Amino acid sequence: MEYPLTGIKVLDMSRVLAGPFAGRMLCDLGADVVKLEPPEGDVTRLWGRSIGGISGYYNQQNAGKRNICVDLSQPQGAELVKQLVREADVLIENFRPDVMGRLGLDYDTLAVVNPKLVMLSISGFGAGNADSRRAAYAPIVHAETGLVARQAQISDAYPAELALSVADTNASLHGLVGLLAALLARDRTGYGEHIDLSMVDATMVTNDGMNFALDGATLTTPNEVHQTAAGPLILAGDFRFIWHQLSKLCGVQDGLAKVTPEPSLDEKIAARRAAAHGFFNNTCADREAVIEALDKMNIAWGDVRPASDIRSLASVQARDSVTEVDDRAGGTRPIPQSPYRFRHYASQVQGGAPHLGEHNAAVLADWLGFDEAQSEKYSEVLKHGKD
């Protein structure tokens, strides 16, 4: 089957996660994604297990891309980028907002080179404000947008970083929405677009609990992990609803009917939690009984499993959600498969991640029609590895 983005050329100048993840998804959808790295390489080349000279973190975010290594500190480097931009449909970058301008590669300059270019710029705080120059990895945005405080409040624990780079991945996905919309609009108007995407904005709009903060309302209680005869399970739903189902459908009692004086709310909650614990651990003797009871009450549940156990999930097995790519060392290594399942189009990871500068000659030949002599003119800015 045909890939939905076949023929789209993407120049990916981003690093770490917010930009590279967006580029990886475009690659899965069939775009020709060329990652442009500096001679020192993306810092994530040092993160995770290295196999065949490629780290696990870098491999996951850059699988299937081609790679060109260009020294942008030299004028010839920016000149070469402009030639690539002339042929590109999309450019992705996640530098601080003033960096591309200092390199002579801001959107206004590149739009003259290629008026049809769709450029996605992801930064922590967006361009043109007092926070723009601040460094912003995901933990900083998590703290500034209230996610760290929210987690501490609902878990009654000291503030701590989240276990997932939500700010980065949300920015990636909102960036994808923006640039795909711009590509669709370009088909209608003939003109490109520049998308200035703030990680703060993407985090706020994706935070389903932001309404409580903005409205000055009380935060709802979280879903909770319950110790059961089936092991630790997270139950989706406010405990008040879970207790309603337990008492009405399973006959669980809190033992407070004849207690005087009237118990406080905290005492009622404590008694009902204890009753729920007893039901899930004692009345339900095994996993089968626990699951049967939860299904009877129409309560969604999930095993609290380590990520290393993900392949045992039935849906992951059925959907081949983990696939194998070339490990660049004569074997294969596992990687999450593309999440998109089309009826009429294909989407899948296109292969392992590239080495630094691995496709210098091939990209210049394919995109620009350069022969060996023309490529040699840029030998001072084209690098291989960390030479």
Residues tagged active-site: 168
Estimate the crossing angle of helix 18-28 against helix 166-189, to 10 degrees.
50
Assigned token pair, 117? 């270019």
3-state secondary structure the chain: CCCCCCCCEEEECCCCCHHHHHHHHHHHCCCEEEEEECCCCCHHHHCCCEECCEEHHHHHHHCCCEEEEECCCCHHHHHHHHHHHHHCCEEEECCCCCHHHHCCCCHHHHHHHCCCCEEEEEECCCCCCCCCCCCCCHHHHHHHCCHHHHHHHHHCCCCCCCCCCHHHHHHHHHHHHHHHHHHHHHHHHCCCEEEEEEHHHHHHHHCCCHHHHHHCCCCCCCCEEEEECCEEEEEECCHHHHHHHHHHHCCCCCCCCCCCCCCCHHHHHHHHHHHHHHHHHHHCCCHHHHHHHHHHCCCEEEECCCHHHHHHCHHHHHCCCEEEEECCCCCEEEEECCCCCCCCCCCCCCCCCCCCCCCHHHHHHHHHCCCHHHHHCCCCCEECCCC
Burial class, 56, CB count within 10 angstroms (exposed 0-12 / middle 13-18 / buried 19+): middle
Q: Which two tokens stand for residue 299?
A: 């309560």
State the first-to-last Cα distance of the chain, in angstroms, to the nearest integer: 41
CB 85 within 8 A of CB 113: yes
Query: Are 9 and 85 contacting, i.e. CB atoms less than 8 angstroms apart?
Result: no
* Residue 261: cis peptide before it, omega within 30 degrees of 0: yes
Handedness of CA 15, 19, 21, 25 (dihedral sign): negative
